[in-house]
A and B are shown apart, each in its own frame.
Chain A
Amino acid sequence: MPIRLRSLPLAPLLTAIPAFVVLFGFGMVAPDVLTTGNLWNIATQTSYLAIFTLGQTIVLLTAGLDLSIGMAVSYTSVVAALALVNVAAPGLAILAYLAAGVGLGLVIGAVNGFFVAIVGINPFIVTLGTYNILFALSSTVTGGFPVSDFPPLTSQILVDASVLAIPIPIVISAIVMAVVGFLLRRTVFGRSLYLIGSNPSMATAAGIRVRLHTLGAYLLCSGLGTFGGLLLSARAGSGEPNIGGSLALQTVAAAVIGGARLRGGKGGVLSALLGAFFITVLSNGMNLARIDGYIQQLCIGAIIILALLAEQISQNAERSS
């Protein structure tokens, strides 16, 4: 009988092993990888990607997908930056920044969710459509130029602050993980998402309002994605129309590597975090080992296919045992 890795309680933690192998592997090639400074850097970058990946994981739970997440991040980054630089009082400006960004993100999520959950259209096609709509909007709203001149208070609060010597992005990300983890594990809404993904007809039979919950998943995905994007823009110090370019691929790769499934019903906070850690370690290592950016892109594609293959094989093993 084959070993059923996924049924072990510690199964998601196995994802951490290849990540550490990659980390120490690159550490031998490029000595800069294992310095304290770079390890903090990896932790910070993981905390951003984990927020995006968690959003993607939530729609994957319902057997959906959000290809538009990167463009939603780009568009809201620019629009929120416009709000930030146009409000005079710095404190108020940061509130306007967050409110405008997340508010717009929720609108985008509502549009995706409406077409997927209410009209009943294939999520790939809906989000491929909104991807291109948002791409056009984000590259035209400011003529394709970044919105810079963020007030210094933005980076003081959202980037450079620290709690007990831990950088604020990591702290914020940890809070987000805890809240969403509670939502997924301990609330009817969260539990319903798992059932909708793994067995939609049973979810309907159990009286779950499938459409409403699925809509909620898309709202949450875009909300989380744009919130993460706002943190990232604050770090860049400007609203960037191409900040989210490859996020769709990265988040799906991270989610699937962490243990989420395209067919729905699997994954959570831990899988998102570990998957994000793996992708971050890999791209950080490739950067420091001076591997060409285009080769990195090739690697991400190959890794997604490998992760999908592994998912399929472990699923077959589960079924046959």
Chain B
Amino acid sequence: MRSARACLASLLGSGGMIVLLIVLTAAGTALVQPRFFNALNIINILRNAAILSVASMGQMLVMVAGGFDLSVGVIVALASVQTALLSGIIAGWMPDAPILALILATLLTMVTGALIGSVNGAFVSVFRLSPFMVTLAMSSVVMGVTFYVTKGIPIYGLPDAFMNGIGRGMIGRCPVVVVIAVAIVAAVIILQRATTLGRHIYAVGSSPHAARVSGVRVRPLLIGVYAVSGAAAAIAGILLTARIGSGQSTLGGTLALETIAASVVGGVSLLGGTGRAERVMLGALFLSLVANALNLLRIDSKYQTLVLGVVLIAAVCIESLSGVRRRHD
């Protein structure tokens, strides 16, 4: 028993488990449905995984710092709507420079995401409210705004360059979306491994009190981490909008669940203090593979949420049973 547990712990610890899961899922799907290895299908999976990875980076940082962010899904929807609306409005002001208008629109959208995140962070760190409840309530607020503005109707009229350049664009044989996601993940890896700020995030997640005593400014740090999560969700929303070509208020419905699941599958502890960007990216790849497998096997897309729920609970159970989880109380 003990050796089985130790074995499981070492697998989880090294990240081997997630690689194994990815290989098994890919092999299993390819056996049943040979179209799996079709180049188009692989690119499709990579694009989905890329967008999920970007949003998951924010979720992971928040979880490492000991919190949760349930508002990532609604920020994706807001970002989609905001990019589409703003790029139209700004393009009206500067008809000669549509690309510049688009860049301004996406930057403003990212700022909005960061602002919503920092409000979450302020409630969590300054007023010490439950991160789960604050971000859940914030979701209700943001969703109310998004639907009130759009009445649920998609917003068209985005410049073609946006879709062709980013959403469907390729650099050589690699989708632009994937390049952007890899760059963001690389930046987060550097943040986590090579900067004081990154180590402080781990410290705050492991023990806020110890971190404070040793001179970490916990409040600004937490506000910043939630702001990054909001901005990451906004970027994911922009990338998703570039893929589908319109602003949609219904995007991101299960994204909070997906990013938490990607993080937990990637070895992030629910108690904070542990988690690595590269493994969370693998977690996102695994979830995208599973979704793709369900599609190829022609299983009703509604069952994907069921599978997500099961994967989340199973991953947390495995983490809990393998003893990787540490107790703080």
| Chain A interface residues toward B at CB < 8 A | 65, 67, 115, 119-122, 124-126, 128-133, 135-137, 139-140, 144, 248-249, 252, 262, 292, 294-302, 304-305, 308-309, 312
Contacts and interface: CB of A to CB of B under 8 A. Distances in A.
A297 B249 CA distance: 15
B145 A298 contact: yes
Interface string B114-145: 00000000010001111011101111111111
B309 A292 contact: no
B313 interface: yes
Interface string B299-322: 010111110111011001100110
Contact of A296 (B129, B144, B264, B305): B144
Contacts of A298: 140-141, 144-145, 148
Contact of B303 (A128, A129, A136, A305): A136
Interface residues on B, range: 35 or more
A249 B148 contact: no
Interface string B30-53: 000000000000000000000000
Contacts of A131: 309
Interface in B237-281: 254, 256-257, 260, 264, 270
A300 B320 contact: no
B286 interface: no
Contact of B270 (A125, A140, A295, A308): A125
| Best-buried of B132, B138, B264, B309 by chain A (most CB within 10 Å) | B309
B148 A294 contact: yes
Contact of A308 (B130, B306, B308, B321): B130
A126 B257 CA distance: 11
Contacts of A135: 305
A301 B139 contact: yes
B263 to A, nearest CB: 11
A301 B147 contact: no
Contact of B313 (A129, A140, A304, A312): A129
A30 to B, nearest CB: 20
Contact of A312 (B68, B127, B142, B312): B127
10 contacts: A125-B312, A126-B316, A129-B316, A132-B306, A132-B308, A132-B309, A136-B305, A294-B143, A297-B141, A305-B138
B140 A121 contact: no
B309 A133 contact: yes
A186 to B, nearest CB: 30
A304 B68 CA distance: 17
Given A125-B312, A126-B313, A252 B305 contact: no
